[in-house]
Structure formats: structure tokens, C-alpha cells
A and B are shown apart, each in its own frame.
Chain A
Amino acid sequence: MNDQAANDSVGSIRAGDLIGRPAYGRGGNRLGTIADLIVDGDIRTGLRVTGVVVARRPWGRLLGYEREQATGPWLLQALARVVMHRRVRTIRWDELDHAG
């Protein structure tokens, strides 16, 4: 196992390199800042990046309330939905311009 403490594999990228970067649509239009990466699948078959959470502002994350399974005080949920409707969007990975 110790040999697996090696450098990053060739051709890899870190999630931290993507989060916080600007996101652009296929048409070159700026969508906002990448606030999070969405992956689907499971550990055995592979976790594949299928989308990103894009925020108009760097702090537009709102405590993870954009997740469908989010629970919490109803007032906070309602407030988060109103604010997120304007500031946070989920974009499919294939809708992004990957050139950058």
C-alpha cells in the first residue's frame, strides 16, 4: 500500500483545481463560479462527474441546500430556495465548455 502514496497519476486533476474556477457554457457565455462537483455512481463501478453546481458569487453555496436530500429548519430551507433560485444553478457536465 505504501507505494500508493506516490505522486498524482499522470493526466489527473484535483477537485480543488476546479472548484472556484469560472464555468463557461458551450457558447462561451460565463455561467458563474464552480461551487461544487456532482458525481454519480458508486465506489465499485466508479464515481463519474456528471455536473457542477454553479454560483453567481463565490459565497453562493448556502450550506448545501441545493441538494435534494437536504433537510433542516423549514424557514431556512424556504429562504435558501428563494435565494438559490437566483444565485445557484446545476449544470450538466456536457453543457460546459471544457476548453478552459
Chain B
Amino acid sequence: MRVFLGFDLLDRQILDSEGLPVGNVDDIELAVGEDGVLSVTALLVGAQVWGTRLGGRLGDTIAGMAARMQRRTPAGPIRIPIDQVRETGAAVTLAISRDLLVEPELETWLREHVIVRIPGASADPEADKS
């Protein structure tokens, strides 16, 4: 199988094993093997990674904001090992559930500060009445 990393993987949507969205492929981690050949080791997800790849003043701003929002330790992008990928196509499908992955900070922040204020946003209808 021949894959063009930029065209076939970067910026593609990632779906988990049940078809639920995980995020986008914001960058791809490569490592030098013992034979000196570069191989794909992981997909990287997160606004910080994307900002760094974008570069320039806008990219630096996005990466800086994302870095400040990071609360988990150790800090860094969400790293999905390549052997957890089931197939690539219009989207990248994982062999695992997204529950096993760390939630991106931006989504956590949006849920806690924006989504929760929208009437009817709760999964529990009774909770919205109170």
C-alpha cells in the first residue's frame, strides 16, 4: 500500500471503532528505525500540534493558546499509535473506542463553558429542568 502522508492522512477526520469522531490528524509522528529508515509511529491530534504545523504568527498564537489550556500531565498532543489504525480512506478509522483516548482540551473547555449553558444540552432531560 502506498500512502501520501500529506494528501492521504494529514487533516483527515479520525473516527473510532464505532464511527464516532475523535478529531483530525493534525500531524504525524515519524521515527528513525534501527536500519535508519523513517517509519510512521503515531498520529498526533490537538490544536497545539496543528498550530505548530501551520506556522507563522497565526499558528504560533493557536499553539500558544492551546498550550495554556493544557491541564493534563505530561503535556503534549494526543498520540494515537499507528497500530491502532484499522483503515485509511476518506476518514481514518481506529480499531479502538474513543473512550480510551484523552479528550482534546479545547473540546473539554467548550463543553464546560459553552455547551453546558445551552438549554437542552444535557444528556439528562431532568437535569435541564432543575
Chain A interface (Cβ < 8 Å from any Cβ of B): 1-2, 4-9, 11-16, 18-20, 35-44, 46-49, 53, 61, 64, 67-68, 93
Per-position contact with A for B1-23: 1 when CB-CB < 8 Å, else 0? 11111110010000000000000
Q: What are 18 sample pairs from A and B whose C-beta atoms fall under 8 A apart?
A: A1-B101, A5-B72, A5-B76, A6-B79, A9-B31, A11-B31, A12-B30, A13-B31, A15-B6, A15-B10, A15-B29, A18-B30, A38-B2, A47-B82, A48-B37, A61-B6, A64-B4, A67-B4
Verify B4–A36 contact, CB threshold 8 A. yes
Q: How large is the interface on B (under 10, 10 to 19, 20 to 34, 35 or more residues)?
A: 35 or more
Which residues of chain B come closer than 8 Å to A15, judged between CB atoms? 5-6, 10, 27-30
Query: B22-57 toward A: CB 8 Å interface, digit per residue (1/0)?
Result: 000001111111000111111010000100110100
7 residue pairs, one from A and one from B, having the closest CB atoms: A16-B53, A1-B100, A36-B6, A15-B28, A7-B76, A49-B38, A5-B102
Interface class of chain A by DSSP: mixed
User: In the assembled complex, which residues on chain B have CB atoms less than 8 Å from the CB atom of A1?
Assistant: 96, 100-101
Known: A1-B101, A11-B32. A6 touches B7 (CB 8 A): no
Given the known A-B contacts A15-B5, A15-B6, A42-B1, are A5 and B79 also in contact in the complex, defined by CB atoms under 8 Å? yes
Q: A5-B76, A38-B2 are in contact. Are A47 and B27 (CB under 8 A)?
A: no
Q: Assess the A43–B85 pair: CB atoms within 8 A.
A: yes
CA distance A100 to B1 in the complex (A): 28
Question: Whole-angstrom distance from the CB of B1 to the nearest CB of chain A?
Answer: 5
Whole-angstrom CA separation of A13 from B33 in the bound complex: 12
Chain A residue nearest in CB terms to B6: A36
Please report the C-alpha to C-alpha distance between residue A39 and residue B18 in the assembled complex, in whole angstroms. 27
Select A67's contact among B7, B72, B77, B102, beta carbons within 8 Å.
Answer: B7
Judge whether A5 and B37 touch: CB under 8 Å. no
Name the residue of chain B whose CB is nearest to the CB of A10: B31
- A19 vs B78: C-alpha distance in the bound complex, in angstroms? 21
CB contacts (< 8 Å) of A67 on chain B: these are: 4, 7
Chain B, 68-106, CB within 8 A of any chain A CB: 72, 74-83, 85, 96, 100-102
